[in-house]
Amino acid sequence: MRFSSTNTKEGNMPFAAILFICVLSSKGILIYNEEMIVACCFTGFIIFSQKSLGNTFEATLDGRIGAIQRELQQFLNPDEVVFLESNEQQQLLGISLRSITPEIVELLLNEMARCAPKCEKTVQAVLCRNLNVELATLLNAISSRRIRLRDDIVTGFHFSVSDQFVPRTTDTKKAFIVELIREGLVVSRMVSRNGGHR
């Protein structure tokens, strides 16, 4: 009812405007000319087209907005579907991983128990090889030390014997005896130390 009364009022407005213009023209208030006629026609066109053009523009904009919303919904829906599917796949993967974790741990423990003897033998072999290398190095050092000690003893006695044939004074003989005793002590210490290491 309100809509029909509004349309009736809007439809009666042009006739009221025409009657108003006619009354004013009969009283001589308005003077007709081309500019007045053009202005009246333009005003009437605006009044008549306001309703129809407004509804047309509104309908066009509503349709365009609805189409854009539908396109956006169609564009976003696949992403939401993919997100939900990936989320479900991750949940299933987590469940499967939790279910197989005890089996993996058990397999690893069994593998460690199976490989432990082999690893122990390998470690023992490596340690034995290293000990043999160290022992060989030590024996070589002892042998070279013995050879060097023997050479030192031979050289010391060689100088001692050769010095006995040289004529010496009393002081020189005393110094020679002291030096000979000192060398003998050094040699005896080296021999005893070598025997202790052996």
The winner for highest mean pLDDT among 2-16, 44-58, 99-113 is 99-113
Residue 103, pLDDT score? 79
Residue 62, pLDDT score? 79
In this structure, is residue 88 part of a structural domain?
Answer: no
Residue 4, pLDDT score? 46
Q: Is the pLDDT of residue 18 over 70?
A: no
Residue 166, pLDDT score? 57
Residue 84, pLDDT score? 72
Q: What is the pLDDT of residues 37-80, one digit of tens each?
A: 667 777 777 777 666 666 676 777 778 888 887 777 766 666 66
In this structure, is residue 28 part of a structural domain?
Answer: no
Mean of pLDDT over the chain: 70
Q: What is the pLDDT of residues 158-168, one digit of tens each?
A: 666 666 655 55
Q: What is the pLDDT of residues 141-183, one digit of tens each?
A: 888 878 887 777 777 776 666 666 555 556 666 676 677 777 7
In this structure, is residue 161 part of a structural domain?
Answer: yes
Residue 125, pLDDT score? 81
CA distances from 163 to 114, 153, 157 (A): 75, 15, 10
Residue 2, pLDDT score? 41
Residue 122, pLDDT score? 79
Q: Is the pLDDT of residue 133 over 80?
A: yes
In this structure, is residue 47 part of a structural domain?
Answer: no
In this structure, is residue 115 part of a structural domain?
Answer: no
* Domains in the chain, number: 1
In this structure, is residue 186 part of a structural domain?
Answer: yes
Lowest mean pLDDT among 6-15, 43-52, 115-124, 179-188: 6-15
Please give the backbone phi and psi of residue 115, each rounded to the nearest 5 degrees, phi first: -90, -10
In this structure, is residue 49 part of a structural domain?
Answer: no
Residue 53, pLDDT score? 66
> Which residue segment(s) compose the domain that 181 sits in?
131-197
Residue 34, pLDDT score? 61
In this structure, is residue 155 part of a structural domain?
Answer: yes
Average pLDDT over residues 98-125: 77
